[in-house]
Amino acid sequence: MRRWWVLAMLAGGGCDDGGEAGGADVAVSADATSAQDAGAPDAGAGDAGGPVADQGASIEDVELAAADFDCMLEWTKVRRFYITNKRGRLEEALDVANNPAGGTYPPGTVIQLVPQEAMVKRAPGWNPVTNDWEFFFLNIDGDGQVTIGARGAEDTVNAFGGNCFECHNKAAPQWDLICEQDHGCDPLPLSARVIENLQQADARCR
């Protein structure tokens, strides 16, 4: 499967949804192969974090399938990441994203820094450990078709063995596990230019 990825990510091994720190420019490999392409498309379907807290919470929950991860370039860009909300609460999500004091994102929020990784905010109580975030590693072929390589809560890893929650859990509490450049997470070995190249190469947008 064709992949828009960065060779440095193999060394960094970290998830990168929602933010990054400045890194060196590295070569983008258009044909790098994901180690998880052979996996089941929807392995670990959305119950990985456990049931939502109550019936009211389940009404606002969002359990995304592969087809729900559309072109990120059509979403709203905030600084370096892209954001949407699958429950019609984009304005509320943007208020949190642009609040200098931070805040908690509403259910249905989807955040991507690069096409292959995503964070999805589930209903309150879905998984208190991860602040109700579900982490995804996405396989995207050259025609823009998406399969889900990995999804879940504390144990989700990307194709290079990086644990998403362990990375994002280093963000200060007010940022709701969103890293960016100055929220406390370890820096990624990617420059702003490389991240922009990866975003613009999103095959779902063709």
Query: How far is the CA of 122 from the CAs of 7, 52, 107, in angstroms?
Result: 31, 8, 5
Please say whether the beta carbons of 132 and 125 come within 8 A. yes
Cα separation of 189 and 26, whole Å?
8
pLDDT of residue 70: 98
CA neighbor of 202 nearest in space, from 136, 113, 109, 93: 113
Among the listed ranges 1-15, 89-103, 191-205, which one has the minimum average pLDDT value?
1-15
What does the pLDDT look like over 119-157, one tens digit per residue? Answer: 999 999 999 999 999 999 999 999 999 999 999 999 999
Q: Which of 122, 117, 110 is nearest to 84 (CA)?
A: 110
Q: Where are the domains of the chain?
A: 5-31+39-205
Residue 161 — pLDDT band, cuts 50, 70, 90? confident
pLDDT digits (tens, 9 = 90+) for 175-205: 999 998 789 898 888 899 999 999 999 999 9
pLDDT at site 180: 86
- Give CA–CA dist 86/93, Å, rounded: 11
Q: What percent of the chain has pLDDT over 70?
A: 71
Query: Do the Cβ atoms of 20 and 194 come closer than 8 Å?
Result: no
| Those residues with Cβ within 8 angstroms of residue 94's Cβ, 6 or more apart along the chain or in another chain | 76, 78, 83
The pLDDT of residue 15 is 64
Q: Which residues of 161-177 are buried (b: 16+ CB within 10 A; e: fewer)?
A: ebbbbebbbebeeebbb
> Which pLDDT score, from 0 to 100, does residue 12 have?
41
Q: Which residue has the higher pLDDT, 42 or 195?
A: 195
Predicted TM-score (pTM) of the model is 0.78
Higher-pLDDT residue of 54, 40: 54
Residue 185, classed as helix, strand or coil, is coil
Q: Select the more confidently predicted residue: 127 or 48.
A: 127
